[in-house]
Amino acid sequence: MTDVIGIDHIYITVSDLEASEQFYDRVMIRTLGFRKNKFSVAGDPHIQYFNRHFGFVLRPSRVLLAGPSSLLSTRGFRGRCSCCGPSTSRCRS
């Protein structure tokens, strides 16, 4: 079995990036001693907390049209499910 010693990065989508930054600054920097970096992807601000074994990235949420009259919020964890692809919201396992 492979010995996992870290995770490259996890993206967390948040509805209020400024409030989340204040909270995670306290948790990730002051409490856990992580470092912090800011960057943009396609014009969207991202906030990264990291150490040598783990990366944790906050990104702003978006609201997408899911049908003619419904909205789908994209807040929360987004990862890749081995059975369903990139959207964990479809996974039934």
Tens digits of per-residue pLDDT, 1-13? 888 888 888 999 9
pTM above 0.85, yes or no: no
**How far apart (Å, rounded) are the C-alpha atoms in residues 35 and 48?**
8
Tens digits of per-residue pLDDT, 56-73? 999 998 755 555 544 444
Backbone CA torsion sign across 61, 62, 66, 68: positive
Q: Region 19-28: what's the mean pLDDT?
A: 97
Q: How confident is the model at residue 87 (pLDDT cuts 50, 70, 90)?
A: very low
H or E stretch at 20: helix 17-24
